[in-house]
């Protein structure tokens, strides 16, 4: 065990169960439904149809979105008995911080279409539990506003996610702003140099950025503002047009990682790695972490389910940097399986967004508490006491996911 600051204790599974049952005795309920299909259903009732589709949808026929869930169904846990699991510790160490549980709020853009508090809600909920929050480049509140708001709750890790656009000065400016505002890692998303073919959004003719939503980090950036004849407040249409011309950069190669290294001292984590050869190239480029992810099936339809890609990447990395995972995490068992296949921690996307839609900051907090409690119980009931004990011997692989319930996202 390192000498890193001890993380705050989160309620263990049985404690959280008792809280909820005690609430039930007095006729109360948690602020979000515990069964995920009810949570999702409630969120969908609240959200405008096009915002709902923006969150729920994926690329093309959404095969990869389904593949993400099916990959989990193929792996089953094989519980062990009589192993004294009375003392448990879910904490993990990542990039110089000790987290109370292996759970991170992943980067999600344009959260103002989900809840008026947007990114502030998730950042504050994460801070209150000591879990990291990753702020998207496409956030609805600026790098600095989110930092200030989260700091008021507690000191806890926050990372900045970069969409690496065409203008190097703008990229450098955002990266430097994030470091100045206390973001302690840079998550570089590689899988979205262009937006995937998202049929639901195309059907609605809806891209929130074209309405000026999710552009807070651009509109507040001195380099971006310097490229405009009039400030975005006076001429939003021109600012949106400029964003459209700088967002996408399809020319980047592995050599370009050196540029980021020159502009920040914080650890660099690459998000969107699926191929083991890319994991090897990432290590050659000297990065500090890898996130196995297919962006929740929002980019390449037909791509491999993210969990199916995890073992190959973990094998290639061989413990040299932490490997994190996202795409399809919904329950404690999913986190267990990802950890057993070699991930150090998981990132959440849609799961926490449903909590955000239903009950803002408290909704995100409840979703997190429920997931951690579910994970704690899954670990204990399977005969383990901490995350690092988990490996593939805790799982068996079945041939088919067909016997499982209908995949649901
Ligand atoms: C509405 C929405 C917006 C997203 N925005 C971003 C983003 O700005 N940057 C990013 O790296 N990933 C983004 N993602 C991808 C998530 O970080 C994550 O990879 C994905 O949601 C995981 O899949 P899951 O939600 O099915 O678990 C977004 C995902 C959703 C659903």
Mean pLDDT per segment of 10 residues, for the chain of length 409 residues?
A: 76 98 97 98 98 98 98 98 98 98 98 98 98 98 98 96 98 98 98 98 98 98 98 98 97 98 98 99 98 98 98 98 98 99 99 98 98 98 98 94 54
Opening angle at CA 351, ends 378 and 383, nearest 5: 5
Rounded CA-CA distance 377/13 in Å is 5
Distance 320 CA to ligand 1 centre (A): 26
Q: Which atom of ligand 1 is nearest to the CA of 161?
A: 11
Whether 203 sits among the annotated catalytic residues: the reply is no
Q: Which atom of ligand 1 is nearest to the CA of 106?
A: 17
**Owner of token pair 């670990």:** 379
- Cβ distance 359 to 122 under 8 Å? no
Closest by alpha carbon to 217, among 104, 141, 319?
141
Pocket test residue of 47, 53, 67, 109 for ligand 1, highest count of atoms within 8 A of CB: 109
Distance 352 CA to ligand 1 centre (A): 11
Pocket test residue of 190, 208, 349 for ligand 1, highest count of atoms within 8 A of CB: 349
Distance 349 CA to ligand 1 centre (A): 5
Tokens of 239: 């600012």
The structure's pTM equals 0.98
Rounded CA-CA distance 352/354 in Å is 5
Distance 158 CA to ligand 1 centre (A): 16
Query: Active-site residue among 204, 263, 275, 295?
Result: 295
Pocket test residue of 138, 295, 305, 325 for ligand 1, highest count of atoms within 8 A of CB: 295
For residue 366, give the 3-state DSSP assignment. Answer: helix
- Cβ distance 40 to 356 under 8 Å? no
Burial of residue 311 (CB within 10 Å: 0-12, 13-18, 19+) is: middle
Rounded CA-CA distance 370/190 in Å is 31
Phi, psi of 171 (to 5 degrees): -60, -50
**Extended beta strands in 34-174, E state:** 75-77, 92-94, 97-99, 103-105, 133-135, 158-162
* pLDDT at residue 400, rounded to an integer: 73
Distance 260 CA to ligand 1 centre (A): 22
* pLDDT at residue 4, rounded to an integer: 79
Q: How many CB atoms lie within 10 A of CB 315?
A: 11
- Cβ distance 336 to 77 under 8 Å? yes
**Extended beta strands in 205-274, E state:** 268-273
Q: Which atom of ligand 1 is nearest to the CA of 296?
A: 23
Burial of residue 318 (CB within 10 Å: 0-12, 13-18, 19+) is: exposed
Rounded CA-CA distance 16/30 in Å is 11
**Owner of token pair 């609240």:** 46
% of the chain with per-residue pLDDT over 70 = 97
Q: Which atom of ligand 1 is nearest to the CA of 326?
A: 22
Distance 21 CA to ligand 1 centre (A): 33
What residues pair up with 77 in beta bridges, in sequence order? 395
Tokens of 216: 């807070």
For residue 239, give the 3-state DSSP assignment. Answer: helix
Instruction: Name the residue with the closest Cα to ligand 1, atom 31.
Output: 55
Q: Which atom of ligand 1 is nearest to the CA of 271?
A: 11
For residue 186, give the 3-state DSSP assignment. Answer: strand
């Amino acid at each position: 065990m390192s000498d890193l600051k001890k993380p705050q204790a989160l309620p263990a599974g049985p404690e959280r169960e008792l809280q909820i049952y005690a609430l039930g005795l007095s006729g109360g309920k948690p602020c979000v439904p515990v069964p995920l299909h009810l949570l999702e259903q409630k969120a969908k009732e609240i959200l405008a149809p096009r915002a709902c589709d923006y969150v729920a949808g994926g690329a093309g026929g959404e095969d990869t979105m389904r593949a993400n869930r099916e990959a989990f169904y193929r792996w089953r846990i094989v519980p062990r008995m009589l192993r004294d699991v009375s003392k448990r510790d879910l904490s993990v160490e990542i990039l110089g911080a000790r987290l109370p549980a292996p759970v991170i709020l992943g980067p999600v853009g344009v959260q103002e279409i989900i809840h008026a508090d947007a990114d502030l809600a998730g950042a504050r909920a994460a801070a209150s539990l000591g879990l990291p929050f990753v702020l998207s480049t496409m956030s609805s509140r600026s790098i600095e506003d989110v930092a200030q708001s989260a700091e008021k709750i507690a000191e806890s890790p926050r990372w900045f996610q970069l969409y690496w656009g065409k203008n190097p000065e703008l990229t450098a400016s955002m990266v430097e702003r994030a470091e100045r505002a206390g973001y302690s890692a840079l998550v570089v998303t590689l899988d979205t140099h262009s937006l995937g073919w998202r049929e639901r959004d195309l059907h609605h003719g809806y891209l929130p950025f074209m309405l000026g939503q999710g552009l807070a980090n651009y509109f507040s950036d001195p380099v971006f503002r310097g490229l405009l004849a009039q400030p975005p407040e006076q001429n939003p249409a021109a600012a949106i047009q400029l964003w459209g011309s700088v967002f996408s950069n399809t020319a980047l190669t592995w050599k370009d990682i050196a540029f980021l290294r020159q502009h920040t001292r914080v650890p660099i984590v690459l998000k969107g790695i699926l191929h083991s050869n890319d994991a090897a190239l990432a290590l050659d480029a000297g990065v500090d972490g890898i996130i196995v992810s297919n962006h929740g099936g929002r980019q390449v339809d037909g791509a491999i389910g993210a969990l199916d890609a995890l073992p190959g990447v973990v094998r290639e990395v061989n413990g040299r940097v932490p490997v994190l995972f996202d795409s399809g995490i919904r329950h404690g068992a999913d986190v267990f399986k990802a950890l057993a296949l070699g991930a150090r921690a998981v990132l959440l996307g849609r799961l926490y967004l449903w909590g955000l839609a239903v009950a803002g900051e408290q909704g995100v907090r409840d979703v997190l508490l429920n997931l951690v409690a579910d994970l704690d119980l899954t670990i204990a009931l399977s005969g383990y006491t901490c995350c690092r004990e988990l490996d593939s011997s805790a799982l068996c692989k079945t041939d088919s996911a067909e016997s499982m319930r209908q995949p649901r996202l």
